[in-house]
């Protein structure tokens, strides 16, 4: 221990002249502390949630920022985040020479439309709201729909590789119970086709899939890793209980990037999840299985988790709606964590109204999760309906213009400009934020927020996996293992510095939101990459690792805790969907959904 402390003092703390006596005594005391703590290993603690929680709605984060934003921007200037592999340095001659045109580079990377895997038949692509009304009106039976869904899964799963577990028998048994409930409801005077019929629940009969981080008692939860092969959950997550209480039918568990620590859902344990729009491309991640099954029209709703964009990334890649609620809005109990202070759970859905419907069911306090806040989530469906009416007059939309210009694919840039014109045509006032001539305070740079996100995720994820790494390191995939191993070597002071920076960044974000109701930016700077694609080449810039690009515009809002909605707005020339991200004030999902529904209504159905 003494030699270790001496090496750390010299190399990590730059304390070459530390006194020998101090080193020896510090080492002896450290050994005592560590031995006592490690005796309480991960096996003892299990999935106990820590006693700290970030509450973005707390008045402390509404105080005036104390650091000039220019000081914070310095953090985002250079260096990596520890997430993507470092790229080899470019030769000096090549760096000075002319770079190829951006569109020529990308034409070789993003192919023309390729093989697709989309659900077919009269039930394919129906929204949750449409299904609920059809059940109420007697046009469809729950078992009938569930069987059709299971048949479509069987047909498309060999192409998508999106499911880990299909819970067919359990789903059919639940569906039969739902049909019996429907019969009793009608005998007791129900009917009339109303979508809000009392007693049946807002998700009555709706087939739903769960990301394979979310526990269902008696069903495996693999978290996408060989580390958990054979693991069977002994509890049911709070979000699953709430779905079932609302009448949903759980049909299976969808693939995740290993322990949710990746943006492509391509890992050795399960293999890659394929994008339904082009099977040669990624479905995004880490909730890639959920994105693929909703994007293919197999299901109207699937749950995902989001630590750095893992709901919004696959939503944008697969052409679905993806909602990351405000931090603390939805319970994390029964969900395998990646980073306790950044993790969110939310829906990937066929429509904005479906996302609103699901969030109303999931939201609320939970005695099993200390971070779950008692803030009502009501009126969300009404907000989505108001947006669909197409009137956004009185809303100020902050445009993160710098984010939309920095290393963005031409297809994404064009789709984003078109979406801005549509918002303006609907009556919204556009306000440029953070750019030259911007109105009000600048929003912190995406690179600053993403750096803080990665330090927190590396440290907290590394802590959660420390004991398993010591025992089963070889069972992790290489890239995910490297990330968790990196977390072993971060100092406590670095972690706490990141949390202190987070507090300041949250205050900066709150100050900006005083000037607008929502922010908008692209969800992804690139269309869905090819499977296995390591880098992309932006115009006039060095190559960027695909994992870093995929999280660059989404990870910031896990740090601030704001609600963020990805809505598909176009299908590019590559044949791949493109999404726009709408970000709101904390606990104001209603306005976010209103703006998203307005864009959705203008866009109309995506060309499938």
- What local confidence, expressed as pLDDT, does residue 209 receive? 98
Express each pLDDT in 130-150 by its tens digit. 999 999 999 999 999 999 999
Is residue 591 pLDDT above 80, yes or no?
A: yes
Question: For all residues of the chain together, what is the average pLDDT?
Answer: 89
> What's 317's domain CATH number?
3.90.1300.10
Residue in the block written with tokens 């700290």: 52
Task: Provide CB contacts within 8 A for 587, sequence distance 6+.
Answer: 57, 326, 329, 375, 563
Q: Is the pLDDT assigned to residue 392 strictly greater than 70?
A: yes
Identify the weakest region by mean pLDDT among 19-33, 49-63, 176-190, 533-547: 19-33
Rg (CA), the chain: 24
pLDDT at 191 (0 to 100): 60
pLDDT band at 11 (very low <50, low <70, confident <90, very high): confident
Average of per-residue pLDDT across 24-51: 68
Q: Could you report how far apart the first and last alpha carbons of the chain are, in Å?
A: 61
Residue by residue, DSSP assigns 534-561 as -EE--TTS--EEHHHHHHTTTTHHHHH-
Average pLDDT (403-414) is 94
Residues 6 or more apart whose Cβ sits within 8 Å of residue 123: 140, 145, 148, 149
* 304-348 per-position pLDDT tens digit: 999 999 999 999 999 999 999 999 999 999 999 999 999 999 999
Measured CA to CA, the distance from residue 551 to residue 452 in angstroms comes to 13
107 pLDDT band (50/70/90 cuts)?
very low
Q: Does the pLDDT at position 19 exceed 60?
A: yes
The mean pLDDT of 392-396, rounded to a whole number, is 98
Confidence of residue 66 (pLDDT cuts 50, 70, 90): confident
Residue 596 in domain: yes
Q: Counting beta carbons within 10 angstroms of the beta carbon of residue 128, is it exposed (0 to 12), middle (13 to 18) or buried (19 or more)? A: buried
Q: Is 286 helix (H, G, I), strand (E, B) or coil?
A: coil
Nearest to 195 by CA among 145, 127, 123, 129: 129
pLDDT (0 to 100) of residue 50: 73
How confident is the model at residue 192, as a pLDDT? 53
pLDDT at residue number 150: 98
Question: Which distant-in-sequence residues (6+ apart) come within 8 Å of 346 by Cβ?
Answer: 303, 304, 305, 306, 311, 322, 323, 324, 325, 330, 355, 358, 359, 362
Residue at 79 is within a domain: no
Phi and psi at 599, nearest 5°, equal -65, -40
Contact 301, 326 (CB under 8 A): no
Residue with the two structure tokens 């322990």: 259
Residue 112 lies in a domain: no
In whole angstroms, give the CA distance from residue 144 to residue 338.
37
Residue 260 within a domain: yes
Cis peptide bond upstream of 286, omega within 30? yes
Is residue 96 situated within a structural domain? no
Q: Which of 62-66, 99-103, 394-398, 474-478 has the lowest mean pLDDT?
A: 99-103
Given a cut of 50, whether residue 496 has pLDDT beyond it is yes
Query: Coil, helix or strand for 248?
Result: coil
Does 107 or 608 have the greater pLDDT score? 608
Length of the chain measured in residues: 608
* DSSP3 helix / strand / coil % (the chain, rounded to 5): 45, 15, 45
Percent of residues, the chain, with pLDDT higher than 70: 88
pLDDT of residue 197: 45
The domain in which residue 283 lies consists of 128-189+201-368+378-444+505-603
Q: How far apart are CA 24 and CA 382, in angstroms?
A: 65
Supply 433's token pair: 């934020």
Band of residue 65 on the pLDDT scale cut at 50, 70, 90? confident
Question: How many CB atoms sit inside 10 A of residue 359's CB?
Answer: 23
pLDDT band at 86 (very low <50, low <70, confident <90, very high): low
Point out the residues that are catalytic.
Answer: 211, 286, 310
pLDDT of res. 396: 98
Asked if pLDDT for residue 97 goes beyond 50, the answer is: no
Q: Kindly indicate the confidence band of residue 608, based on its pLDDT and cuts at 50, 70 and 90.
A: low
Check if the beta carbon of residue 27 is closer than 8 Å to that of residue 5: yes
DSSP letter string, 377-415: --SHHHHHHHHHTT--TT-EEEE-HHHHHSS--HHHHHH
Q: What is the pLDDT of residue 494?
A: 86
pLDDT tens track for 419-430: 999 999 999 999
- Does the pTM exceed 0.85? yes
Q: What is the mean pLDDT of residues 397-415?
A: 95
Q: Is residue 14's pLDDT more than 60?
A: yes
Average the pLDDT over 112-127 and give the result.
89
Pairing verdict, β 266-267 and 271-272: antiparallel
Q: Are residues 369 and 331 in contact, defined by beta-carbon separation less than 8 angstroms?
A: yes
* β 396-399/429-432 pair status: parallel
Q: Is residue 266 part of a domain?
A: yes
Q: Residue 604 class from Cβ within 10 Å (0-12 exposed, 13-18 middle, 19+ buried)?
A: exposed
Q: What does the pLDDT average to over 186-192?
A: 77
* Of the listed ranges 57-71, 462-476, 513-527, 545-559, the one predicted with least confidence: 57-71
Residue 468 lies in a domain: no
Q: State the pLDDT at residue 436.
A: 43
560, 459 contact by CB (below 8 A): no
Helical (H) or strand (E) element with 82: none
Model confidence at 155, pLDDT cuts 50, 70, 90, reads very high
Q: What is the mean predicted confidence (pLDDT) over 350-374? A: 96
Mean pLDDT of 101-129: 74
- Position 92 in a domain: no
- In Å, the largest CA–CA distance within the chain is 84
How many distinct structural domains can be found in the chain? 1
pLDDT for the residue numbered 160: 98
Retrieve residue 15's tokens: 């304390």
> How is residue 534 written in tokens?
């390591």
Q: Is residue 112's pLDDT more than 60?
A: yes
Q: How far apart are CA 256 and CA 263, in angstroms?
A: 9
382-407 CB burial, b ≥16 within 10 A, e <16: ebbebbbeeebeebebbbbbbbbebb
Say yes or no to pLDDT of 164 above 60: yes
Q: CB within 8 A of 486, min separation 6: which ones? A: 82, 458, 462
Residue 581 to residue 596: CA distance in whole angstroms: 9
The dihedral region occupied by 58, where left means phi > 0, alpha psi between -120 and 50, and beta the remainder, is: beta
Q: Looking at residues 493-505, what average pLDDT do you find?
A: 90
Six-digit token string for 183: 């019969």
More confident residue, 191 or 50: 50
* Cα–Cα distance list, 171 to 177, 238, 545 (Å): 10, 18, 40
Tens-digit pLDDT profile for residues 208-219: 999 999 999 999
């Amino acid at each position: 221990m003494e030699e270790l402390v001496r090496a750390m003092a010299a190399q990590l703390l730059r304390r070459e002249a530390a006194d020998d006596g101090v080193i020896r005594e510090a080492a002896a005391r450290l050994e005592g502390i560590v031995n006592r703590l490690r005796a309480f290993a991960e096996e003892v603690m299990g999935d106990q949630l820590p006693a700290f929680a970030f509450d973005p709605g707390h008045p402390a984060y509404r105080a005036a920022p104390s650091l000039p934003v220019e000081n914070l921007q310095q953090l985002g200037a250079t260096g990596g985040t520890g997430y993507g592999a470092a790229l080899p340095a470019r030769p000096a001659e090549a760096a000075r020479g002319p770079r190829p045109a951006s569109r020529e580079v990308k034409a070789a990377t993003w192919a023309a439309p390729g093989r697709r895997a989309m659900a077919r038949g009269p039930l394919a692509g129906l929204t949750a709201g449409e299904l609920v009304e059809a059940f109420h009106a007697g046009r469809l039976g729950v078992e009938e729909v569930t069987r059709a869904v299971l048949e479509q899964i069987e047909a498309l799963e060999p192409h998508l590789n999106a499911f880990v577990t299909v819970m067919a028998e359990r789903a059919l048994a639940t569906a039969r119970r739902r049909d019996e409930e429907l019969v009793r409801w009608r005998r007791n005077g129900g009917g009339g086709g109303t979508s809000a019929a009392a007693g049946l629940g807002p998700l009555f009969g709706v087939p739903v899939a769960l990301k394979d981080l979310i526990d269902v008692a008696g069903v495996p939860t693999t978290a996408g890793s060989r580390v958990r092969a054979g693991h069977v959950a002994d509890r049911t997550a709070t979000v699953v209980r709430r779905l079932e209480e609302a009448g949903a039918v759980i049909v299976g568990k969808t693939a995740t990037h290993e322990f949710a620590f990746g943006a492509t859902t391509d890992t050795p344990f399960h293999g890659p999840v394929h994008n339904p729009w082009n099977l040669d491309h990624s479905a995004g991640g880490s909730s890639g299985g959920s994105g693929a099954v909703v994007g293919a029209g197999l299901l109207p709703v699937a749950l995902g988790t989001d630590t750095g964009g893992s709901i919004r990334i696959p939503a944008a890649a697969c052409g679905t709606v993806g909602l990351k609620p405000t931090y603390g809005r939805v319970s994390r109990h029964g969900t395998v964590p990646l980073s306790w202070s950044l993790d969110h759970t939310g829906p990937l859905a066929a429509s904005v109204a479906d996302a609103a419907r699901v969030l109303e069911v999931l939201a609320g306090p939970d005695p099993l999760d200390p971070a779950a806040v008692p803030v009502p989530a009501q009126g969300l469906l009404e907000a989505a309906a108001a947006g669909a009416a197409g009137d956004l007059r009185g809303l100020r939309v902050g445009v993160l213009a710098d984010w939309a210009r920095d290393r963005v694919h031409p297809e994404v840039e064009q789709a984003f400009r078109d979406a801005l014109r549509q918002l303006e045509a609907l009556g919204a006032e556009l306000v440029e934020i953070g750019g030259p001539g911007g109105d009000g305070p600048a929003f912190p740079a995406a690179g600053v927020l993403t750096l803080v996100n990665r330090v927190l995720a590396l440290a907290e994820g590394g802590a959660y996996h420390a004991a398993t790494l010591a025992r089963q390191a070889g069972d992790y995939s290489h890239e995910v293992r490297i990330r968790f191993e990196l977390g072993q070597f971060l100092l406590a002071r670095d972690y706490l510095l990141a949390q202190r920076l987070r507090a300041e960044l949250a205050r900066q974000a709150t100050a900006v939101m005083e000037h607008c109701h929502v922010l908008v930016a692209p969800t992804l700077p690139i269309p869905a990459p090819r499977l296995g694609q390591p880098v992309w080449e932006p115009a006039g810039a060095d190559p960027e690792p695909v994992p870093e690009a995929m999280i660059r515009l989404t990870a910031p809002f896990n740090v601030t805790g704001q609600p963020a909605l990805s809505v598909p707005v176009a299908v590019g020339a590559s044949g791949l969907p493109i999404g726009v991200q709408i970000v709101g004030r904390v606990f104001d999902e209603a306005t976010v959904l209103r703006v998203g529904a307005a864009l959705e209504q203008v866009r109309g159905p995506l060309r499938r």
